[in-house]
Amino acid sequence: MKASGSRQSPPRRGARSRRAGIDSRTRAWLRHHRAVGLDSARRLLRRPLSSLLTMLAIGIALVLPAGLWLALSGADDIGRRLQDSATLTVYLSPAVSESRSMTIADTLRRHPDVASARLITAAEGAAEFQQALGLEDALAELDDNPLPASVVISPVDTSPAAVRDLGDQLERVDGVDEVRVDLAWLERLRQLAAFGRRLTLALGGLFGLGALLVVGNTIRLAVESRRREIEVVTLIGATHAFVRRPFLYSGAWYGLGGGVVAWLLLALGGRWLAAPLHDLAQSYGAHFGMPALGWQGSAMLLASSTLVGWLGGWIAVHRHLADARPR
């Protein structure tokens, strides 16, 4: 606590002395918080290199879980978009004629759960197949087109259960041979995401603990270096809260600094990875960008890193104070 700065403050006039009790105590409390908060920040700035190293250690510990969380929310986003584009392929019996296949396609189109239906005639199918696989010669040698006509359906409700249900219904339509619903990999993506979420949680816990230990150890050294001051203020009637306060603020500053480091690393890393990710997405014909933290995510990152720092400070001072009890 530095009281020296306050003495230059101009004398205040008026109602100061008339107000008393809780009000003045609250103001004294706030004044002390402000003074201690600033003093702790100044102490950190006085040793910029070691403060920065501590913040880097915290930031690096936090960047992995935060990055995983980001990747996960990105994967969720992609999964949702892929699910939105979920389709069913209805294969008609090979015996169905082209005109009949159009009628069937119309029937399917009128189904209340079907958003849209696109008919691919046997001939179109063969052409697409040839183009895609470069099997022109092989197919040309066949007398008959072996491919059936098909209808590609976009469902109204894209949830896996509804899609599966719709598939069962469409399978019963006359002239339909088979309905393909490719949900397995969507399901797999979902399971992967669930696994990733747990992994993120576990890593977040572990690395958060790591950050806590970093702050705790740094604050422990700070407590050690201010041992005399703590002794003296305790002798003249400082409460534990008073003794603890500067270290809690130091811890919180370290945590906040670590959060900023983590934020910067994430932003830089995101920028660095954006180009290859874009290329990768394009090669799949998909379109997804690098997930970003956004305002809410950034606020949460900084808040939790500050909390971790505060907690680390608390643990370090608490241990010291517990050792110093009168016997």
Which residues of the shown chain bind other proteins in the complex (CB under 8 A)?
1-4, 6-7, 9, 11-12, 16, 24-25, 27-29, 31-32, 228-229, 231-240, 242, 325-327
Dig out the tokens for 69 from the structure. 């969380």
Between 7 and 198, name the residue whose CB sits nearer to other proteins. Answer: 7
Q: At what angle do helices 227-235 and 240-283 cross, to 10 degrees?
A: 140
Measure Cα distances from 165 to 45, 77, 155, 179 in Å. Answer: 64, 24, 11, 11
Dig out the tokens for 78 from the structure. 């992609």
- In whole angstroms, what is the distance from residue 251 CA to residue 248 CA? 5
Question: Are residues 269 and 67 in contact, defined by beta-carbon separation less than 8 angstroms?
Answer: yes
- Name the 3-class secondary structure at 287: coil
- In whole angstroms, what is the distance from residue 265 CA to residue 260 CA? 9
Between 93 and 234, name the residue whose CB sits nearer to other proteins. Answer: 234
Between 172 and 327, name the residue whose CB sits nearer to other proteins. Answer: 327
Between 150 and 250, name the residue whose CB sits nearer to other proteins. Answer: 250
Closest approach of other proteins to the CB of residue 62, in Å: 32
Between 240 and 287, name the residue whose CB sits nearer to other proteins. Answer: 240
Strands 88-92 and 114-120: unpaired
Which amino acid would we find at residue 75? A
Closest approach of other proteins to the CB of residue 221, in Å: 16
Dig out the tokens for 64 from the structure. 């992995």
Nearest CA to 230 out of 220, 240, 221 is that of: 240
- In whole angstroms, what is the distance from residue 178 CA to residue 176 CA? 6
Closest approach of other proteins to the CB of residue 21, in Å: 12
Between 186 and 233, name the residue whose CB sits nearer to other proteins. Answer: 233
Closest approach of other proteins to the CB of residue 22, in Å: 12
Buried/exposed 213-224: b ≥16 CB within 10 Å, e otherwise: ebbbebbbebbe
Which amino acid would we find at residue 223? V
Buried/exposed 183-204: b ≥16 CB within 10 Å, e otherwise: beebeebbeeeeebbeebeebb
Between 9 and 296, name the residue whose CB sits nearer to other proteins. Answer: 9
Closest approach of other proteins to the CB of residue 31, in Å: 7
Between 198 and 325, name the residue whose CB sits nearer to other proteins. Answer: 325
Dig out the tokens for 90 from the structure. 């209805």
Closest approach of other proteins to the CB of residue 44, in Å: 16
